[in-house]
Chains A and B, each alone.
Chain A
Amino acid sequence: MSEKIKFTIDGKECIAKKGQYILEAALENGIYIPFLCNMKGVKPAGSCRLCNVKINGRNMTACTTPVAAGMEVESEIPELQELRLSIIEMLFVEGNHFCPSCEKSGNCELQALAYKFQMLVPRFPYEFPIKEVDASSPKLYIDRNRCIKCKRCIRNIKDENGKSYFAFYKRAHDVEICLDKELAATMSDELAQKAMDTCPVGAILRKEKGFDQPIGTRKFDKQAIGTDIISVVENINMEVKE
Chain B
Amino acid sequence: MTKKITIEPVTRVEGHGKVTIHLDENANIVQSRLHIVEFRGFERFVQGRPYWEAPVLVQRLCGICPVSHHLAAAKALDVIVGAGTGNGLTPTGEKMRRLMHYGQTFQSHALHFFHLASPDLLLGIDADPAIRNVIGVILNFKDLAVQGVMMRKFGQEIIRATAGKKIHGTGAIPGGINKNLSLAERDEFLYGADPLNIDKMIEWAQASVDLFKAYHKDHSDMIDNFAKFPSNHLSIVREDGAMDLYHGVLRAIDTNGKKILHDVDYQDYLEYIGEEVRTWSYMKFPYLREFGKKDGWYTVGPLARLNTCDFIPTPLAQKECEIFKAYTHGKPNNMSMHMHWARLIELLHSAEMMKELLNDPDIMGDDLVTKGTKQKEGVGVIEAPRGTLFHHYRINDNDQIDMANLIVSTTNNNQPMNNAVRMVAEKMMTGHKEITEPMMNAVEVAIRAYDPCLSCATHALGKMPLEIALYDKNNILIDKKRS
Whether B164 contacts A215 by the Cβ 8 Å rule is: yes
Question: Does A76 sit at the interface, judged by CB under 8 A?
Answer: no
Partner of A101, one of B56, B178, B179, B369: B56
Cβ proximity bits B367-408 to A, threshold 8 Å, 1 near / 0 not: 001000000000000000000000000000011100000000
| Interface set, chain A 183-219, CB cutoff 8 A to B | 205, 207-216
Partner of B399, one of A100, A103, A207, A214: A207
Partner of A135, one of B164, B171, B173, B400: B400
Chain B, interface residues (CB within 8 Å), range: 20 to 34
Question: Does B86 sit at the interface, judged by CB under 8 A?
Answer: no
A interface residue numbers (CB < 8 A to B): 100-101, 103, 133, 135-136, 141, 205, 207-216
Question: Does B16 sit at the interface, judged by CB under 8 A?
Answer: no
Whether B164 contacts A210 by the Cβ 8 Å rule is: no
Question: Does B292 sit at the interface, judged by CB under 8 A?
Answer: no
Partner of B164, one of A205, A207, A216: A216
Q: CA separation between A210 and B398, bound complex, in Å? A: 15
**Please, which residues of chain B bring their CB within 8 A of the CB of A207?**
50, 399
Whether B52 contacts A208 by the Cβ 8 Å rule is: yes
Partner of B168, one of A100, A136, A209: A100
Q: CA separation between A208 and B53, bound complex, in Å? A: 9
**Total A-B residue pairs with C-beta atoms closer than 8 Å?**
52
Whether B369 contacts A135 by the Cβ 8 Å rule is: no
**Please, which residues of chain B bring their CB within 8 A of the CB of A205?**
50
5 A-B pairs (CB sep. < 8 Å): A100-B57, A133-B400, A136-B398, A205-B50, A214-B171
Q: How far is the CB of A98 from chain B (nearest CB, A)?
A: 8
Whether A214 contacts B400 by the Cβ 8 Å rule is: no
Q: List 14 extra interface pairs beyond A101-B53, A205-B50, A211-B56, CB under 8 A.
A: A100-B56, A100-B168, A103-B53, A133-B400, A135-B399, A136-B398, A141-B50, A208-B52, A210-B53, A211-B170, A212-B178, A213-B178, A214-B179, A215-B169
**Please, which residues of chain A bring their CB within 8 A of the CB of B165?**
215
Whether B178 contacts A214 by the Cβ 8 Å rule is: yes
Whether A141 contacts B399 by the Cβ 8 Å rule is: yes
**Please, which residues of chain A bring their CB within 8 A of the CB of B48?**
133
Q: How far is the CB of A116 from chain B (nearest CB, A)?
A: 21
Whether B52 contacts A135 by the Cβ 8 Å rule is: no
Assuming the contacts A100-B60, A101-B56, A101-B60, asked whether A211 and B399 have C-beta atoms less than 8 A apart, the reply is: no
Q: CA separation between A72 and B357, bound complex, in Å? A: 63
**Please, which residues of chain A bring their CB within 8 A of the CB of B55?**
211
Q: CA separation between A212 and B50, bound complex, in Å? A: 15
Partner of B173, one of A101, A136, A210: A210
Assuming the contacts A100-B56, A135-B50, asked whether A208 and B399 have C-beta atoms less than 8 A apart, the reply is: yes
Q: Which residue of chain B has the shortest Cβ distance to A213 in the bound complex? A: B178
| Interface set, chain B 126-180, CB cutoff 8 A to A | 164-165, 168-171, 173, 178-179
Q: CA separation between A214 and B52, bound complex, in Å? A: 14
Assuming the contacts A210-B50, A212-B369, A215-B164, asked whether A135 and B398 have C-beta atoms less than 8 A apart, the reply is: yes
**Please, which residues of chain A bring their CB within 8 A of the CB of B56?**
100-101, 210-211
**Please, which residues of chain A bring their CB within 8 A of the CB of B369?**
212
Q: CA separation between A133 and B402, bound complex, in Å? A: 13
Cβ proximity bits B41-70 to A, threshold 8 Å, 1 near / 0 not: 000000011101101110010000000000
Q: How far is the CB of A204 from chain B (nearest CB, A)?
A: 12
Q: CA separation between A212 and B178, bound complex, in Å? A: 5
Q: How far is the CB of B179 from chain A (nearest CB, A)?
A: 4
Q: CA separation between A205 and B60, bound complex, in Å? A: 21
**Please, which residues of chain B bring their CB within 8 A of the CB of A213?**
178
Q: How far is the CB of B436 from chain A (nearest CB, A)?
A: 44
**Please, which residues of chain B bring their CB within 8 A of the CB of A141?**
50, 399
Would you list the 6 A-B pairs with minimal beta carbon distance, nearest first? Answer: A215-B164, A210-B52, A135-B398, A101-B57, A214-B179, A211-B170
Whether B57 contacts A211 by the Cβ 8 Å rule is: no
Whether B50 contacts A211 by the Cβ 8 Å rule is: no
Assuming the contacts A100-B60, A135-B399, A208-B399, asked whether A214 and B164 have C-beta atoms less than 8 A apart, the reply is: yes
